[in-house]
A = this chain, B = another copy of it.
Amino acid sequence: MTSQAADGPETVAASRRSKITPEREREFFDAVLEQIRECGYDSVTMDGVAASTRCSKSTLYRQWKTKPQFVAAALRANRRVRFVGIDTGSLAEDLREVARAAGDWSHKDTKTLQALGQAVTSDEELAKALREALVEPEIAALQDILRRGVERGEVPEGHAALDYVPAMMFGVLRVRPVLTGEYADAGYLVRFVEAVVLPALGLT
């Protein structure tokens, strides 16, 4: 048990039924999401994804029955907790940190939401996957941050502006490209927090 524990580069994959490794699956998911951000849901074709990943359309259809199910699976695999570890002990600083973090990946998520916002009206599973991947985790994390601020007494419980903070943040994030053509970066969002969110919460 000392010399035979070979955790080298060639990991043993003998137990897998499908020959698609998780890494390979990840390539499929990344490719389809990237193409969706690029051209929109309707313009993305299974042929295109297969070609760009140098796999066969058969391979995709062996794993996922339809295109929306494939995209939904990609969204679920992409789901992860946002704003994780943001807990500075100060609500104002937490919100600035959220703004900085959001500025980093806002391009991708905003594009994805924009591109899929239309498709979800015709596929409930896709809509659920989209909400669970890109909406609910972020809202929940933001509300956790606000809740901790209230518990520390920085903002009075039931403050009128509390309910609107998530909508404000994500609203500004999503609508910026429509208004100016540019995506919201960290600097813009931090200034927004300072100029609007903090004053509205009474944090000067």
The chain B residue with its CB closest to the CB of A174 is: B175
> CB within 8 Å of B: which of A113-149?
113-115, 117-119, 121-122, 135, 139
Contacts of A40 in B (CB 8 A): 118-119, 121-122
The chain B residue with its CB closest to the CB of A138 is: B179
Main secondary structure of the interface of A (DSSP, over half): helix
Q: Are B164 and A172 in contact (CB under 8 A)?
A: yes
Q: What CA separation (Å) do A126 and B161 show in the bound complex? A: 37
Shortest CB distance A115–B (Å): 6
Known contacts: A41-B118, A171-B175. The answer to whether A160 contacts B195 by CB under 8 A is yes
Tell me how many chains of this kind the complex includes. Answer: 2
The chain B residue with its CB closest to the CB of A117 is: B114
Query: B167, B176, B178: which contacts A179 (Cβ < 8 A)?
Result: B167
Q: Are B178 and A113 in contact (CB under 8 A)?
A: yes
Q: A55 interface residue, CB < 8 Å from B?
A: no
Q: A194 interface residue, CB < 8 Å from B?
A: yes
CB-defined interface of A5-25 with B at 8 Å, one 1/0 digit per residue? 000000000000000000000
The chain B residue with its CB closest to the CB of A198 is: B200
Contacts of A202 in B (CB 8 A): 199
Q: What CA separation (Å) do A175 and B39 show in the bound complex? A: 22
Contacts of A114 in B (CB 8 A): 117-118
Known contacts: A43-B122, A171-B168, A175-B171. The answer to whether A196 contacts B135 by CB under 8 A is no
Shortest CB distance A106–B (Å): 13
Q: Are B199 and A135 in contact (CB under 8 A)?
A: no
Q: Are B172 and A174 in contact (CB under 8 A)?
A: no
Shortest CB distance A171–B (Å): 3
Q: Can you name 12 extra interface pairs (CB under 8 A) apart from A113-B178, A135-B179, A164-B192? A: A39-B122, A118-B118, A160-B191, A161-B195, A161-B196, A167-B172, A167-B176, A170-B179, A171-B173, A174-B175, A199-B200, A199-B202
